[in-house]
Amino acid sequence: MTSRAEDGGRSELEMSPEEMMASALRAAELVIERVQNLPDKPAWRGGSRSELEAIMREEPPEEGRPSHEVIERAAHEILPIAGRVDHPRFFAFVPSSPTWPGVLADFMAAGHNIFQGTWLGASGPSMLEVVVIDWFRSWIGYPETAGGLFTSGGSAASLDGFVVAREAAGAPMQPSVYMSDQSHTALIRAATIVGVRPESVRMVPTDEHFRLDMNELHGMIIEDRESGLTPIAICGNAGATNTGAIDPLDEIADYCESEDIWFHVDAAYGGFAILTDRGAELLKGLERADSIAMDAHKWLFQPFECGCLMVKDIRKLEGAFSVQPEYLQDTQWGRDHPNFGDRGLQLSRSFRALKVWMSVQTFGMAAFRRSIGQGIELAEQAEAYIRESDVLQIANPASLGVVCFRVNSRTSELNDEQLEEINEAVQTRVIEEAVAMMSSTRLRGLYSLRLCILNHTTTWEDVRFTLAAIENFGRETISS
Ligand SMILES: Cc1ncc(COP(=O)(O)O)c(C=O)c1O
């Protein structure tokens, strides 16, 4: 049989190797240019729906256009109109600053079109996922019985984790789940998806540092059991998004053991801090969780989407998800390997482990440890700067890269409403004048500015420059 290449035949949706190369090189060139120029660009760009409708709304063309035109449009008209989440002064929400090998891994995995649902479909990639998940297992300090899988992110990981928790509790008719009032909405959604009524997703009050209050938890569980609910999981935060707060993991673990309740930790934000000595100390008790959600697209410097779920007893995860349809009977060959499609929601899965593997192989663990540690240290330096300032005030001390603070006057009494107006105005100027991208939050109802520092390219000068601008804007706003 002659190959299609030999007889020159190509499908209508194929390109010649020359076109493929030229377009790939141009796309790479544009992305590298973007990354190199990041510090000189604003950390955020956006547009209103009506503005963007005018630029982008069109019918799909019946006939194609030259690929270089399409690439240029994507690079200049679409992709830049977005938050530059990897900008060294992007401190809003949760930044993400991918390493280049991670970006290339996504390209290579897509180019090989890996179907990472079964071992039959992708033995090599599945083996690598086993290896990388085992790295995570040992970083956490989990036993050999533990395992997990890569997911799109922390939301999907916690959802899969709650399925196991529900099954471990015997799939009760009236389940309830407990989490602190600082927990991420991803957990609320995950709980409702697995069948917990919204009113049975119980938000436990927190202490002065926004950590789950054990007495309140205990009281709620007694009350709920009396009213017929069955607790299926207690969730701890290992770095709450708002404040970086870490719940008392050891105490929750003790409580879960004594009450026979599944212990899930949302470590999507802070989990990989465990790679540093400081983080390991702060996250003590994480290894006692029954399941853990972690996001490598946050503090392990991978491009979106790169989350994972780790479960202490991997048999429970597979027990909860494994279904064997006839049309997948061929994937049961060999018994000594996992089919990752049996560990969670997705059957068709991309090969996410490659990103972590290529990045770690390229830079080595020491570089990762230092880069993670740098985020923790910069947030602490920011806290020290804020404490010294005559116009800034700490709202919550630095915790795992997050510091919350507000502009306030030391000389005149400002009420909450005035403070909110002032801080809102300052935040707007920081963004509009392209100093940095930062987001605000509310701590016990009070408006607060928030810096989240976990980009490996962020320097103290980026943080200092931003804080100095906030001080200046603050002074001007207070006196205006
Ligand atoms: C603490 C925490 N949990 C869960 C999530 C949701 O994770 P993802 O967006 O990866 O689904 C986030 C995202 O910022 C988070 O910070």
Which candidate, 472, 476, 466, places its Cα nearest to that of 403? 466
Helical residues (DSSP H) of 99-248, grouped into ranges: 100-111, 123-140, 154-168, 185-193, 214-226
| Interior/surface letters 312-324, b for 16+ CB within 10 angstroms, e for the rest | bbbebbbebbeee
Query: Which ligand 1 atom is the nearest neighbour of the CA of 155?
Result: 11
Query: Which ligand 1 atom is the nearest neighbour of the CA of 94?
Result: 14
Cis peptide before 33 (omega within 30 of 0): no
Which candidate, 211, 306, 192, 317, places its Cα nearest to that of 262? 317
pLDDT in tens, 229-266: 999 999 999 999 999 999 999 999 999 999 999 999 99
In this structure, are residues 236 and 249 in contact, taking their beta carbons and an 8 Å threshold? yes
* Per-residue pLDDT, 249: 98
Question: How many alpha carbons fall within 13 Å on the CB side of residue 28?
Answer: 13
* Per-residue pLDDT, 5: 54
Residues in the chain predicted with pLDDT less than 50, given as ranges, are: none
In this structure, are residues 404 and 438 in contact, taking their beta carbons and an 8 Å threshold? no
CB of 268 within 6 A of ligand 1: the answer is: yes
Tokens standing for residue 465: 């420059």
CB of 184 within 6 A of ligand 1: the answer is: yes
Host H or E run for residue 448 = strand 446-452
CB of 186 within 6 A of ligand 1: the answer is: yes
* Per-residue pLDDT, 473: 98
CB of 283 within 6 A of ligand 1: the answer is: no
* Per-residue pLDDT, 6: 56
How far does Cα 368 stand from its chain's mean position?
Answer: 17
Q: Looking at beta carbons, which pairs linking 257-261 to residues 24 or more positions away fall under 8 Å?
A: 259/221, 259/231, 261/169, 261/221, 261/231, 261/232, 261/233, 261/234
Which candidate, 282, 276, 76, places its Cα nearest to that of 265? 282
Query: Which ligand 1 atom is the nearest neighbour of the CA of 295?
Result: 10
Threshold 0.85, pTM exceeds: yes
| Tokens 């994480």 belong to residue | 286
In this structure, are residues 473 and 429 in contact, taking their beta carbons and an 8 Å threshold? yes
